Structure 1
Amino acid sequence: MAEEVMNNKQIILKHYVEGYPKESDMEFKNNNIKLNVQEGTNVVVLKNLYLSCDPYMRSRMSKLEGCYVQSFTPGSPITGCGVAKVLKSGDSNFQEGVVVILVVEKIGMFHLRWRMDYHDSPQLVSKNGVGQFAKMLGCCVVGSAGNKQKVDMLKTKFGFDEAFNYKEEHDLDATLKRYFPDGIDIYFENVGGKMLDAVLVNMKLHGRIAVCGMISQYNLDKTEGVHNLFCLIAKRIRMEGFLVFDYYHLYPKYLEMIIPQIKAGNIVYVEDIAEGFENAPSALVGLFSGLNVGKQVVMISCE
């Protein structure tokens, strides 16, 4: 059998990043990839269809120590999550033509993969899904966003009871008291900094804070301190971090729950789709200035 070779374009991190990332911190590199699969191997050749741009990727652009993820290696391709199509397969669990959700070890047009998770109808639900889940459970939900369009979307599309533009609020403590006169029971933390400080003051006794991220701190040379931590003691607040990796074993159960809810229209989502692999760096950088509206995705190929 003649050896089949395809040109493959990859995104390379040029150097560790300080401050806000720029498109110039990344570059494209072309190489060739062999599409043939030798008999007796479990190698799978994939064609990337969609790539996910996520805030945690910014942390990996810096030199990390003691973190839950490893730093990207300057001069090497960056990694991320995506959706791909199986082109060639030496693994009986993955037939040619099926669509898979996976961690892309080297972001490019094509790549090899030895292990992945399979699902024939992948769906993505971004952070606004947290508020929608809370509404399903009977909570009064208030959200914050960085512009009027997003604030309106939280209320009209995602069903939040209220929402505000944090960039227009000069006193976040007063803002939270306006929306939560009796205090906050549950806070989903993905911001950090001044917002977390204001939330701590406004929590109820025995309130709960689930810490998912702190995007306001990712591009700072020196992260901001939190001044109201004593509220954890005074109000007996439970504050706990979590990582999605700890809950992968529940993913099949999650799909059983979420897919019927999406099909029924009870859970909705918005995707901001950048078309073309060449636009992946600008899509990733845009996350940190709020340019995206919804889950940021890069479409490489529409199939």
Structure 2
Amino acid sequence: MSQNPRTSPSASNAESSPNSPAASVHVKLVLLGEAAVGKSSLVLRIVNDEFEENKQPTIGAAFMKRKINVDNVCVKFDIWDTAGQERFHSLAPMYYRNAQAAMVVYDVTRQSSLEKAKAWVKELQRQANPNIVISLVGNKLDLLEESTDAPEEQSGSAEAATSNAEGEDQKMDGEDGEQEESSSKPQDTDSKTQKEKPVSREEAEAYAKEAGLLFGQTSAKTNIGVLEIFNELAKALPLQQMISERQASRNSQLNRGGVDVNSMIRPSELNRQGQDPDARNVDNCAC
């Protein structure tokens, strides 16, 4: 997936289709993944073109909306951003139930988050809508780029620190030297414990291909690749089939003398947490 630099949501809608779309469809989209991989930041970026440095963890789930025009269709994403903490795992089926699309997010700097993402994919493929379109998204690409630059920047200071340390050691007596050595060992152990192997693009992309997933890498912070993953997801949906099925259902309802509630009522602009996540289909897109 190509990575285009920063594009605002309003500009993306204009670029997707200069004319008013001929049809519209609501798509229930759920975001899943380990805690702190940046799910909420991705949603905030695509919806409001914003980024918060210290975003609070999601409790339960949060709801937002985003329109994307593709193939002369206005795709209205009803986005459910789920909490990544393990204690909320049991709530996940309520949010991915009847979802037509899912983004499973991992942190490109943490291998363990990819393993958790794989577990989410298995759960979706086993329990969710059998036709659900799943996108595997590696977020925090900016941190991976920073980590690759860090060794070069630190090499000079590390060499200087080493030479200074050697000079100091020559002045120290044996007792002070032993104290410094003993105090440095726990710090080395801690740094090794905290450091985790990053995820290579090749590894994640190969897994996505094997599992039949869409794939992309993003940075919600620097707005790299965010619009692309939503566009690719919208394009991968069977939009014409969804529109035809909705119209057939509407015609059947009208033929039975029923009321087409979708033409009368629009979903309220929900952004409260903990609401029933089932989405409705609505016609007459106002994109």
The reply to whether TM is greater than 0.5 is no
Q: Which is greater in Rg?
A: 2
Identify the structure with the greater helix proportion: 2
Task: Give the structure-1-normalised TM-score.
Answer: 0.28
Task: Give the structure-2-normalised TM-score.
Answer: 0.29
